[in-house]
A = this chain, B = another copy of it.
Amino acid sequence: MNAETDRASYVTRLLEDLGSIGVERGGGITRLLYSESWRQAQAFLADVMAEAGLEVRFDRVGNLFGRLEGTSPDAPVILTGSHVDTVRSGGKYDGAYGIAASLSAVLSLKERYGKPKRSLEVVSFCEEEGSRFPLAYWGSGSVSGILSPELADTAEDPDGVLLGDAMKEAGFGREDQPDPRRRDIGAFLEVHVEQGVILERTGERVGIVETIAGQRRYILTVEGEANHAGTTPMSMRQDALAAAAEMIQMLEKAAVRAGEPLVATVGRMKIAPNIPNVIPGTVEFTLDIRHLSETLLTGFCEAVLGKCRSIAVRRGLALRVQTALQSRPVPMDPLLTGRLERICRERGLAYRRMMSGAGHDAQSFSSLCPTAMLFVPSRAGISHSPEEYTAPEHLETGLDILTEMLHELAYEDPL
């Protein structure tokens, strides 16, 4: 076995080991923030880091760092990693791959080249998915400072447990533990599975993220009048579902016309009274819209919400629009992105510059330091599911590019 194969099989093994923590009966993995399985996973990774000779540290919110000290310990740190938490019944790769690849890359650099100039740190962020508490990026957002520590006193999980209490219960949140906020980060790199079908369908090996999409989420409520399906003529109806169907049709057409990379999705819908022989009186549905340009995103949202209002008015129905989420697009660093591209070209790898439609820890860092992000293909685009899978050769490609980037940034670039 050569060194490359070793490093790749190290990633695969680590994913298997990590993927055995939090397994449910149906095969899915659940590691919600500060839960028992979450604690086991962070403790396991801390052991792996320590055994590999990294300097291990947890911060106050439970982020785990493994540090390879540089010859210039005061130079900004090169940080790489991803998140250890999962959605309910998630897969083995989302988040975990970024941690495993970072660990493997840093260990192989250490083995081959010894001490870097700049310190290298592998991070296992405590939380990214937003699956337990009504917030996301608690790990990376606490490091970059975009999330306030005071959220610990307000955010509650569905059982009414306060974030701060759950944190203490898991052994964190103590004043003597290091403040998560970091001001010494020089760059952040994240590799991740794509969670989409683009790379698989185009046959490209690597996605270089240019921008993490801006996102709007709305909840639209159409109020009509519930009535007997047999005794109310078509001309006397105020059918909330017929109106919603017209809106959804219009949205789909407008999104297709707007062109890629805009995406618009109605994912959840609630109908009342939801009885076969009663005309729906109320329909509530979510609208999720994403694009890499804030201007185009805003323009699109205004246009389609305006059209939804016109549809409601024409039908004599009421429409309520609540904004549930509003996040601006986050650009990745053009210099780092350019380097990733060069590395791919040098290796003759088919790659694509692309938007990330999903949010990632990387978005917490782009206003703090140069940040870059790399995707490898996801089989059938499936994610947040036990079916999530990425072939070993793709895991290896991502690892290889990450290793090269870390080498350049930590060992080669002049201080």
Contact = CB atoms under 8 A, between A and B. Distances in A.
A359 B201 CA distance: 53
Interface string A347-383: 0000000001111000000000000000000000111
A246 interface: yes
A229 B271 contact: no
- Taken together, the copies of this chain in the complex come to 2
B266 A241 contact: yes
Interface string A279-307: 11000001010100000000000000000
A318 interface: no
Interface stretch (A76-84, A147-155, A252-260): A252-260
Nearest to A290: B230
A182 B292 CA distance: 74
Interface in A179-208: 194-198, 201
4 closest A-B pairs by CB: A196-B231, A230-B357, A229-B265, A245-B248
29 contacts: A201-B236, A213-B230, A215-B230, A227-B381, A228-B358, A228-B381, A229-B265, A229-B267, A229-B357, A230-B356, A231-B356, A231-B383, A233-B261, A234-B252, A235-B256, A235-B260, A241-B248, A241-B267, A241-B269, A242-B248, A245-B248, A245-B249, A245-B266, A249-B249, A265-B276, A266-B280, A267-B280, A268-B271, A277-B288
Interface of A: 194-198, 201, 213, 215, 217, 227-236, 239, 241-242, 244-246, 248-249, 252, 255-256, 260-269, 271, 274-280, 286, 288, 290, 324, 356-359, 381-384
